[in-house]
């Protein structure tokens, strides 16, 4: 059985259909004091897949705790978490004394609940393998970059791909390589949550179609700043392609005002920019663990 949540029901339904599994949407009731009551099917067995993307993570992590513990009590033998966006992966070290290293804490939390954790393009910077952050029996980090490269083919004429910072190189290079497109990365200095300085690479962008490629976009400030810089260098147009469209507040409006033409994303996080479905990628990963 596949268990889903109402705020991720469309993607859960597609995955259940692809896996030929029955889908059950978990019932959640919020009490006036903000406590939750979670209700699952009265009996479970065998492999149970739980599908939920972990944007807006704090409440969702509590829900996963309640769901996973209850599913075990109801008879689930193998629990698989499909979380296309995996939260808390950025804080992978204590940059200042006293800081919590959330990557390892949340990774262990999920590993204690689930036998298998499947995610897409997690933000792993100082480690190479998801298992180092999420020590579950099976920890699978999939990548959407082949799907992103296929999507861009035919939609971007002779593009040059740019990563907004050095951390994005692993994604921008993987999207560029199948089509032999040129790519480079910018240098970024973060001054605050929504304040960054961007330095473009020393290349000519005049008359070029630029696609900014990244794994995660939240405030959109980095992409907006990079887009302005590209257009100031006489780029013909600037588009944005990301795996995880977290965009909060007025991020999209501000990017459009900065001159971004198109904003494209996978459906790892539900957003109006979703154009690349992940269902086949996730289906194959679940089946590989069956």
Share of the chain above pLDDT 70, in %: 98
108 and 149 together in one domain: no
Positive or negative torsion for Cα 76, 78, 79, 84: negative
Residue 172: phi and psi, rounded to 5, are -65, -35
Tokens 């579950």 correspond to what residue? 136
176 and 261 together in one domain: yes
- 3-state SS of the chain: helix, strand, coil percent to 5? 35, 30, 40
Is 215 within 8 Å of 244 (Cβ atoms)? yes
Q: In terms of pLDDT, which residue wins out, 95 or 58?
A: 58
Question: What is the pLDDT, as a whole number, of residue 33?
Answer: 95
Q: Write down the pTM of the prediction.
A: 0.94
Residue 272 lies in a domain: no
Question: What is the pLDDT, as a whole number, of residue 91?
Answer: 81
Question: What is the pLDDT, as a whole number, of residue 181?
Answer: 96
Which pair of structure tokens corresponds to residue 213?
């490629």
pLDDT at 101 over 70: yes
16 and 120 together in one domain: yes
Is 1 within 8 Å of 48 (Cβ atoms)? yes
151 and 164 together in one domain: yes
Over range 156-172, report the average pLDDT: 91
Name residues whose C-beta falls within 8 Å of residue 31's C-beta, 6 or more positions apart in sequence: 37
283 and 236 together in one domain: no
pLDDT at 193 over 70: no
Question: What is the pLDDT, as a whole number, of residue 60?
Answer: 97
Mean pLDDT across the chain: 94
56 and 136 together in one domain: yes
Specify the CATH number for the domain of residue 201: 3.40.50.2020
161 and 83 together in one domain: no
In angstroms, the Cα distances linking 154 to 11, 45, 149, 157 are 26, 46, 10, 7
Number of domains in the chain: 2
Over range 53-74, report the average pLDDT: 97
**Whole domain around residue 53: which residue ranges?**
2-143+277-288
pLDDT at 195 over 80: no
Residue 157: phi and psi, rounded to 5, are -85, 115
Question: What is the pLDDT, as a whole number, of residue 192?
Answer: 59
């Amino acid at each position: 059985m596949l268990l889903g949540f109402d705020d991720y029901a469309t993607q859960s339904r597609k995955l259940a259909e692809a896996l030929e599994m029955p889908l059950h949407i978990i019932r959640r009731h919020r009490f006036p004091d903000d406590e939750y009551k979670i209700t699952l099917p009265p009996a479970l067995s065998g492999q149970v897949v739980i599908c939920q993307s972990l944007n807006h993570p704090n409440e969702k992590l509590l829900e996963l705790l309640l769901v996973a513990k209850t599913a075990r009590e109801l008879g689930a033998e193998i629990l698989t978490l499909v979380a296309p966006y995996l939260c808390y992966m950025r804080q992978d070290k204590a940059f200042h004394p006293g800081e919590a290293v959330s990557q390892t804490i949340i990774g262990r939390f999920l590993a204690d609940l689930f036998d298998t954790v499947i995610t897409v393009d997690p933000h792993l910077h100082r480690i190479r393998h998801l298992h180092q952050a999420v020590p579950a029996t099976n920890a699978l980090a999939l990548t959407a970059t082949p799907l992103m490269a296929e999507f861009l083919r035919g939609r971007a004429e002779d593009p040059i791909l740019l990563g907004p910072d050095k951390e994005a190189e692993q994604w921008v290079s993987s999207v560029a390589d199948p089509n032999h497109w040129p790519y480079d990365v910018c240098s970024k200095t973060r001054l605050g949550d929504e304040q960054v300085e961007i330095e473009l690479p020393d290349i000519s962008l005049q008359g070029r179609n630029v696609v900014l490629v990244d794994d995660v976009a939240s405030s959109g400030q980095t992409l907006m700043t990079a887009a302005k810089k590209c257009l100031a260098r006489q780029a013909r147009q600037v588009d944005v392609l990301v795996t995880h469209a977290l965009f909060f507040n007025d991020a999209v409006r501000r990017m459009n005002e900065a001159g971004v033409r198109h904003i494209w994303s996978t459906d790892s996080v539900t957003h109006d920019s979703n154009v690349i479905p992940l269902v086949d990628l996730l289906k194959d990963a679940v089946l590989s663990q069956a």
